[in-house]
């Protein structure tokens, strides 16, 4: 390859590396990665494990006026082995929700740690105020927001069975990777109830400061919820 071609290829590759946080061109010595790359990999892996097994402090939830309930997840080890346990609320949670929440709200906001407590701590300061402003701008009224410990996406249906909201948005920590442990998703559904399918739900994923900015995600959610109510559907049937 000529020198000019090598320079052009190097410039192209350097530009590609600016577009992604993926591990590219990390190099190696012999058959093993370079020491600093291996240390960075182990650090990122440790952050991912901490995010899964971490908890959201009660003081952090109080800052947003969120009361906490639990699913039947029991503990994180059981939660990882039995995802279905995170889809069903405990009897105590059902009682707290019925007593503490507005019934049949236009929009029900729920926050859950899911697979990353860190995602909640890193994004809620930005996404929740933006979401609240977005609902107001779209003429939508929210019910009583709360936090679910050990939630899976399917817990939306159990909550919908109790509160019968027109729409529900679940802000939940995503499975952490080696790029970030702070990623959150926003799942939305029109009239969630047992029996809903994944295709009935909408999702904005990869919400974090290096992906979809949490402020932008919060601002967009209100528009989607308004369209769900106008069209009386969500998921693949919604025209956006």
Q: Rounded CA gap, 19 and 127, in Å?
A: 24
Edge-to-edge strands, sheet with 146-149: 67-70, 146-149, 107-112, 167-173, 184-190, 201-207
Task: Determine if residue 153 is labeled as part of a ligand binding site.
Answer: yes
Q: Rounded CA gap, 169 and 111, in Å?
A: 8
Task: Determine if residue 174 is labeled as part of a ligand binding site.
Answer: yes
CA 167 to chain centre: 17
Annotated binding site for adenosylcob(III)alamin: 153, 174
**Residues placed in the known binding site:** 153, 174
């Amino acid at each position: 390859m000529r020198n000019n071609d090598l320079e052009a290829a190097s410039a192209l590759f350097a530009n590609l590396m600016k577009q992604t946080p993926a591990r590219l061109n990390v190099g190696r010595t012999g058959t093993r990665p370079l020491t600093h790359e291996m240390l960075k990999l182990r650090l990122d892996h440790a952050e991912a494990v901490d995010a899964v097994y971490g908890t959201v402090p009660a003081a952090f939830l109080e800052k947003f006026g969120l009361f906490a309930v639990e699913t039947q997840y029991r503990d994180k080890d059981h939660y990882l082995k039995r995802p279905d346990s995170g889809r069903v609320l405990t009897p105590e949670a059902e009682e707290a929700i019925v007593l503490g929440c507005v019934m049949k709200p236009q929009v029900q906001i729920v926050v859950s740690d899911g697979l990353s407590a860190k995602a909640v701590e890193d994004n809620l300061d930005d996404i929740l105020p933006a979401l609240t402003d977005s609902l107001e701008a779209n003429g939508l009224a929210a019910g009583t927001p709360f936090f679910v410990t050990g939630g899976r996406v399917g817990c939306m249906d159990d909550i919908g069975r109790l509160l019968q909201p027109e729409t529900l948005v679940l802000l939940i920590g995503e499975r952490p990777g080696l790029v970030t442990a702070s990623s959150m998703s926003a799942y939305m559904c029109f009239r969630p109830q047992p029996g809903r399918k994944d295709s009935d739900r909408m999702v904005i994923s990869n919400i974090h400061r290096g992906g979809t900015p949490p402020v932008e995600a919060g601002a967009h959610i209100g528009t989607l919820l308004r369209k769900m109510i106008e069209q009386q559907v969500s998921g693949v049937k919604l025209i956006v």
